[in-house]
Amino acid sequence: MRAFADLYAALDETTKTNEKIAAMSKYFSTAPPEDIAWAVHFLIGRRPKRLIETRKLVGWAIEEAGIPNWLFGESYQAVGDLAETMALLLPSAQASSDLPLHYWVEERLLPLRAWDDAARRNSLIDAWRQMSEGQRFAWNKLITGEFRVGVSQNLVVRALAEVSGVSTAVLAHRLMGDWEPTADFATQILAKETADADVSRPYPFCLAYPLDGSVEELGAVGEWQIEWKWDGIRSQLIRRGWRTFLWSHGEELITERFPELEAVGGLLPEGTLLDGEVLPWKDGAPLPFTQMQRRIGRKELGGKILAEVPVVLLAFDLLEWNGEDVRERPLEWRRQKLEEIVAGTASDGHLVLSPVLDGTSWEELKSTREQARARGVEGFMLKRRGSPYRVGRKRGDWWKWKINPYSVDAVLMYAQPGSGRRASLFTDYTFGVWNGDVLVPFAKAYSGLTDDEIRQVDAFVRNNTIEKFGPVRHVKPELVFELAFEAIQRSSRHRSGIAVRFPRMARWRTDKKPEDADSLDTIRALLPKE
Amino acid sequence: MATLLERNPNGLYCAQGDFDIDPWSGVDRAIITHAHSDHLYAGSKRYLTARAGEPLVRARLGSDARIESLEYGASIQINGVRISFHPAGHILGSAQVRLERQGEIWVVSGDYKLVPDPTCAAFEPVNCHTFITESTFGLPIYRWLPAGTVMDEINAWWRSNQQAGRASVLFGYPLGKAQRLLAGVDSSIGPIYAHGAVEQMSRIYRASGIPLPAAAFVRDAPARTDWTQALILAPLMSKNSAWLRRFGRMSTGFASGWMRIRGTRRRRSIDRGFVLSDHADWPGLMAAIEATSAERVWVTHGYRAPMVRWLAEKGLEAQLIETQYEGERDEAGGATGAGGEAETGADGEPNGTDEV
Ligand SMILES: [Zn+2]
Ligand SMILES: [Zn+2]
């Protein structure tokens, strides 16, 4: 546990990528495989299902700290992070645990779920007593399921590659899919030999960069394959070993949620892997995303919802063909095989080929792009002809050329602290627009501001609180922000009657007064016609 | 119970003696606990402070100010109120002010810490009826490690920076903290440099007989100085200044009690936080209060509301006092206002008012 707590502290202390990689490499090259497996598991953001109610955990920490409840509350207010507050309040550490990470996880953490409260309490208090303050902090983070250290999977892969000498593409693949954090697994991920055999495992997704400059800088139109950018759930549909797996980009196995697509998988040739977007779809066009949310929200998929919100896989790439990894083959080759496969699959309309658009000039495409909103897509995808299917987000071969987002000026109404490294700052905001002379909450947004701006807003919130509801502050309506969002729908679940997609702060309108913000009527005018 | 002090717009005022303690504007007679800028304002007609602190008070107020001083433990009478100074252990010359009239004893702590500090006299508990205490770090999350352990961390950080070929820039309050760091680090590791604001104060310490290792003025260093082996002591306000750029590749550290909290460490975008404070931690505050045997405690600075509630639950007559003392503003992480009141400005950035 000592090495792991040190790793956590080292990762937490730096924002520099190479220092984070160095800290992880150091850990991976010295820790036993049983520990490496768990460390990788936690570092890439996997976490056990909830082990214990936070309320109970906090209760025992308070008891052990020997302070009243209210004083814990005051302390938490100052710290902004539960695991840290507990670590800081427990009696001064007298020890430091030499026991390995896998012991703590397998013998002490995971069993918590099964134990009764008395056993949990004893075990947790005993654990705290054996640990240093840094260890307690990391441990508390594991228990509360809030273990986040600001490393992406990509960074973990780079560190593993440094230690093992295996390429990052192979390692990224090895980390995907369903695996158990065992010593065997750790040995496998670091192993030189690359005949990986897990049938369910997807490939890392190739991600597009948003186009920042002008499209003309990309060179001739002819060098690019152009498709619509669909707004669905990016997924890989896998047919291997006569079984079907559907993986989302969030690395969730979602096969069971989409029986239509599981059926499609059964029709594919053995050893096929398609990349595409899962979309709610009717009459040859996507349904609004709120429909998909309605479907995802269901525990049971009844015949009614399946009929009302059918889905398709809009396929645009082929990564495995006849059991062979074809990611290195050029785009045109993959596209041609993909077309053959789609044509040969009697999918009853559930497997759709993402069409390739013609365009002889960027000018012509710009005018085609104007139809995007009406078609329910987000713009274009530009893929360089001849390019391989790359791992992760790499500049150069795949670009997303989105239509300009909607934008609205809205007033900051509520703020609450963020999580993880932003826990001591007010970073999560609710914005309102005018309905007559009252502000109606309209969208929540977390991102889009610089650190400096966040600090300024944080200070504003602290000094202009009208009311508190738990962690939420109702603030004086004074700050105006331009919000950008991708799509807009009617919604009965929102007080404003409107739901927007991917709202974010485009900029802080310090030049505007709250009365200059937009009204609900202006926003309603953006809604698609009924 | 007689009231020796009351709150007035200038802070704490003694009506019988007609003097103010650490007033925040000009008065006839100011009794000063120590030379930090939130306790020492210019413009009073006469000042009285502990002798050990006089040179620092002088440096801040200038040669025209009328400053009198008393040795620790010695006393004078002003209009029937007996006044004496007792070491507070906070910085050089910092004092608790003891007031006595007709057997009634009040003590104003000023800022204090209980742990040993080679650059100033150790805190001395004083029995009293009413104790007016600071509570900058008045929450149990604030608990300090021994200074020696922190100095070891700093030394290790300095050495690893040397190996990595980068300068070690250590921020801290230029009066008190910087000298404590200077006295505490292992000066055999490499050359030590100081920002002007730090070195001016260090000179007063040395002139007062406090042995401190030599630190060269950064501004006197030749253009091609190799900074990679050096430790540079600087006030936090220099962090975003052009002054810092000359050091090239560097690691930055900040020595402050606020570094105890991960959030304040992270949002400062400083590479290393070292938890070192010249204020008492929670156990220190509790020990100090208990050692006075006071029945009544007034609480100023920082996390006052939780302290007051805690003391009241322990059976003391505790009261929250509004003040303008800020507990070393450059330490404030933007979160010093406990109990739901407005908190200090945007991120509590270093105080520009620190004119030394
Ligand atoms: Zn002070
Ligand atoms: Zn102070």
B91: alpha, beta or left, given left = phi > 0 and alpha = psi -120 to 50? beta
Nearest-Cα distance to chain A for B261, in Å, is 6
Chain A positions in Cβ-Cβ contact with residue B271 (cut-off 8 Å): 13-14
CATH 2.40.50.140 residue ranges of chain A are 406-524
Task: Name the residue among B263, B303, B310 with its Cβ closest to that of A424.
Answer: B263
pLDDT on residue A489: 83
The predicted model gives A160-176 an average pLDDT of 82
Q: How much is the ipTM here?
A: 0.89
Do the beta carbons of residue A424 and residue B264 sit within 8 Å?
Answer: yes
Q: How far is the CA of B111 from the centre of ligand 1 (A)?
A: 5
Distance from chain centroid for Cα B329: 9
Residue in chain B lying closest to A456 (CA): B346
Q: How many CB atoms lie within 10 A of CB B23?
A: 25
The predicted model gives A31-49 an average pLDDT of 91
User: By mean pLDDT, which of A183-187, A353-357, A429-433 is the weakest?
Assistant: A183-187
What CATH number has the domain spanning A206-402?
Answer: 3.30.470.30
The secondary structure of chain B, three-state, reads CCCCCEEECCEEEECCCCEEECCCCCCCEEEECCCCCCCCCCCCCEEEEEHHHHHHHHHHHCCCCCEEEECECCEEEECCEEEEEEECCCCCCCEEEEEEECCEEEEECCCCCCCCCCCCCCCCCCCCCEEEEECCCCCCCCCCCCHHHHHHHHHHHHHHHHHHCCEEEEECCCCCHHHHHHHHCCCCCCCEEECHHHHHHHHHHHHCCCCCCCCEEHHHCCCCCCHHHCEEEECHHHCCCHHHHHHCCEEEEEECHHHHCHHHHHHCCCCEEECCCCCCCHHHHHHHHHHHCCCEEEEECCCHHHHHHHHHHCCCEEEECCCCCCCCHHHCCCCCCCCCCCCCCHHHCCCCCCCC
Q: Which ligand is nearest to the CA of B336?
A: 2
Q: Which domains does chain B have, with CATH numbers?
A: 6-142+279-325 (3.60.15.10), 148-274 (3.40.50.10890)
CATH 1.10.3260.10 residue ranges of chain A are 2-144
**B interface with A, Cβ–Cβ below 8 Å:** 139-141, 143, 260-267, 269, 271-272, 303, 305-306, 309-310, 313, 334-335, 337-340, 342-343, 345-347
CA atoms of A353 and A258, how far apart (whole Å): 18
Contacts of A283 (CB under 8 A, 6+ apart): none
pLDDT on residue A487: 78
Nearest Cα residue to B100 out of B124, B86, B80: B80
A428-447 pLDDT, tens digit each: 999 999 988 889 998 998 87
Chain B positions in Cβ-Cβ contact with residue A451 (cut-off 8 Å): 267, 269
CA atoms of B79 and A357, how far apart (whole Å): 95
> Is A406-524 a domain of CATH 3.30.2270.10?
no
Nearest Cα residue to A101 out of A27, A171, A45, A159: A27
Q: What band does B326 get if pLDDT is binned at 50, 70 and 90?
A: low
Q: Cβ A89–B303 below 8 Å, yes or no?
A: no
Element (H, E) at A247: strand A243-248
User: By mean pLDDT, which of A99-108, A287-296, A385-394 is the weakest?
Assistant: A287-296
pLDDT for residue B283 is more than 50? yes
Chain A positions in Cβ-Cβ contact with residue B143 (cut-off 8 Å): 88, 92
Q: Which ligand is nearest to the CA of B277?
A: 1
Nearest-Cα distance to chain B for A328, in Å, is 39
Q: Cβ B346–A468 below 8 Å, yes or no?
A: no
CA atoms of A300 and B19, how far apart (whole Å): 78
CATH topology of domain A2-144: DNA ligase i, domain 1 (1.10.3260)
Q: Cβ A79–B141 below 8 Å, yes or no?
A: yes
pLDDT on residue A105: 95
pLDDT on residue A196: 54
Q: Cβ A80–B141 below 8 Å, yes or no?
A: no
Q: Which ligand is nearest to the CA of B326?
A: 2
Q: Which tops the pLDDT comparison, B137 or B328?
A: B137
Q: Per the confidence metrics, is the pTM higher than 0.80?
A: no
CATH 3.30.470.30 residue ranges of chain A are 206-402
Q: What band does B352 get if pLDDT is binned at 50, 70 and 90?
A: very low
> How far lies A69's CA from each of A76, A173, A509, B306, B340, in Å?
11, 47, 42, 12, 17
Residue in chain A lying closest to B337 (CA): A78
A315-326 pLDDT, tens digit each: 999 999 999 999
